[in-house]
Amino acid sequence: MSTVAAKEEYNYDIVKFCVLTGIVMGVIGTAVGTYIASELAYPWLNLDIAEISFGRLRPVHTNTVIFGFGGFLLYGAGFYMVQHSTHARLRFEKLAWAAVALWLISMICMWITLPLGMTQSKEYHEPEWWIDLMMAVSWVFMTIVYLATIANRKMSHIYIANWFFMTMLFMVTYIFTFNGMCIPVDMTFSYSAYAGIHDAMTQWWWGHNAVGFFLTAGFIGVMYYFVPKHANRPIYSYRLSVLHFWSLTFLYVWVGAHHLHYTAIPDWTLSLGAGMSVALIFPSWGGMINGMMTMSGAWDKLRTDPVMRFMVVALAFYGMSTFEGPLMGTKSVNALSHYTDWTVGHVHSGALGWNAMIAIGAMYHMITRMWNTEMASAKLINMHFWVHLTGAVLYITAMWGSGVLQGLMWRAFDSYGNLVYTFADSVAAMHPFYALRAFGGFLVFVGFCIMLYNTLKTVSAVKAGSNVALSAAAKA
């Protein structure tokens, strides 16, 4: 048994700040998401105001949930687990705070500039160049803090969670930087450094790896620390973790091209992307299997512990999304799914099912450990779980339905070889699905509100001294 540093020596202040900010980001991001989803079902909701129309608010939603909610979870959970898994206090704490502050300022600037129409028009990379720069500097600070803390570790081996986190830190740094290359005109506008298909290809090299590294490698890292820790079981297979770490890291960088099937990108590039996508199924599943098998002997916790339930259902969604994605990345399935809501459904099965649920699980875990308390209401965690899950399932199934219907309507011919439907027909047919999707998204938003309420109540109970302290078993 190695010596564990007294937990009082860890820097929890920064983690607490990130977790609370992350929850607020979750509330804001899903509120905006619910609003724009409602705009699609009921277009009058944009009130003829350009700044709140779907096109302007959509990147506010995506950036707030991915880089706001997801980002603060990664910063918070990263700072938490790097200390716990190295038994060392955070290095360069001022730099860490600067990273967090810059990230928050970037989010606020993004909320202002995007509705005003200042955008680089690159999906998941919309904020203008100067916001990009702040985010990049923040990320590099985070990387320095993380690596320095690992260098300070009290044992020889580096835990697998940290491998995944480090591969995310490296890959996101260079892919974000290269995709963001541009020639600024002024504070509100810039030209991409790339033209035509090179711009498209670079964009999806980033676009898919924001998913592949930010939302997968980073979150798998989070999973690798919080699932065994919360279940109090050892990781099932060291060898599996090594195999799927290297294969996932190698394969993910290739697959961005599958976003551009049937475009002007050369066929050989698209085949490369499609092939690697299919080969990626099992490396992705490695993480799911290792997490699930780690649960062996602790499955009974699912009945009693809603936080464990969040984590395990997240893994199930992860397995489902990483099977669906490669299928959609092949040419023949993509011919149907491209440009349809199926893509939106797929993204949300990953985002609401996998990312949000593992993040929420990790957040509840950290809150109870850092404040050394039970949550104010276990019932509310349970309610959050069911509301979130129902919302996610409604959202995903609505988008599957509408996506496949769209794809089929666009390619439907009658026996004379005539198109059966106009584009407007397909838009009209989407209405019930869009209404259902908005309702699903609303439930997810309600879930986040429950979480925020429960968290604030817990923290204020701790301040008042009226909380129930965590049991010694859970504390270990």
Partner 1 sequence: MSDHNDPNDNSTGHEWDGIRELNNPPPKWWAWGFYLGLTFVTLYYIIYPSTPLNNGFQKVINGVTGMEVLVDGHSKGIMAMVNSNPYYKGETWTQAEIDGFKAKGHAELSIKAGDLKYQDGWTAINEMRDDVADIEAVRAGYIEKLAGMSAQQIIADDEMRNFALGRARVLFGDNCAACHGSGGQGTLNKAHPGNSFPNLTDDDWLYGGWTDKIAETITEGREAEMPAKGGNDELTDANVDSLAQFVVALSEGSAALNDDGNLTRGASTFASANVLFQETCAACHSASGKGSLIGSADSYGGAANLTDSIWRFGGDMKTVRDTIANGRKGTMPSFAEKLDETSIKILAVRIHQFGGGMNSDPTE
Question: Rule CB under 8 A: which residues touch partner 1?
Answer: 1-2, 4, 84-87, 155, 157, 159-160, 225, 228-229, 232-241, 243, 247, 261-262, 266-268, 270-272, 274-276, 278-283, 285-286, 289, 293-294, 296-297, 331, 413-425, 428, 476
Q: In this structure, are residues 376 and 457 in contact, taking their beta carbons and an 8 Å threshold?
A: yes
Cβ proximity to partner 1, 10 vs 395, nearer residue: 10
Cβ proximity to partner 1, 243 vs 449, nearer residue: 243
Give the three-state DSSP class for 182. strand
Report, in Å, the least distance between residue 3 CB and partner 1. 11
Give the three-state DSSP class for 191. strand
Residues constituting the chain: 476
Q: Which of 442, 438, 433 is nearest to 342 (CA)?
A: 433
* 91-103: burial string, b at 16+ Cβ within 10 Å, e else: beeebbbbbbebb
Cβ proximity to partner 1, 51 vs 300, nearer residue: 300
Report, in Å, the least distance between residue 414 CB and partner 1. 5
Q: In this structure, are residues 209 and 178 in contact, taking their beta carbons and an 8 Å threshold?
A: no
Q: How far apart are CA 360 and CA 123, in angstroms?
A: 25
Cβ proximity to partner 1, 281 vs 405, nearer residue: 281
- Encoding tokens for residue 16? 């607490």
Q: In this structure, are residues 247 and 286 in contact, taking their beta carbons and an 8 Å threshold?
A: yes
Cβ proximity to partner 1, 136 vs 158, nearer residue: 158
- CB within 8 A of 417, min separation 6: which ones? none
CA 67 to chain centre: 8
Report, in Å, the least distance between residue 293 CB and partner 1. 7
Cβ proximity to partner 1, 121 vs 232, nearer residue: 232
Q: How far apart are CA 353 and CA 287, in angstroms?
A: 15
Report, in Å, the least distance between residue 421 CB and partner 1. 7
- CB within 8 A of 62, min separation 6: which ones? 123, 124, 126
Report, in Å, the least distance between residue 316 CB and partner 1. 16
Q: In this structure, are residues 219 and 356 in contact, taking their beta carbons and an 8 Å threshold?
A: no
Report, in Å, the least distance between residue 240 CB and partner 1. 4
Q: Which of 9, 13, 6, 20 is nearest to 453 (CA)?
A: 20
Report, in Å, the least distance between residue 129 CB and partner 1. 30
Cβ proximity to partner 1, 162 vs 203, nearer residue: 162
Q: In this structure, are residues 131 and 110 in contact, taking their beta carbons and an 8 Å threshold?
A: yes
Cβ proximity to partner 1, 187 vs 428, nearer residue: 428
Report, in Å, the least distance between residue 236 CB and partner 1. 6
Q: Which of 77, 102, 80 is nearest to 90 (CA)?
A: 80
Looking from the CA of 243 toward its CB, the CA atoms found within 13 Å total 13
Report, in Å, the least distance between residue 321 CB and partner 1. 17
Cβ proximity to partner 1, 464 vs 476, nearer residue: 476
Map tokens 């991001």 to a residue. Answer: 29
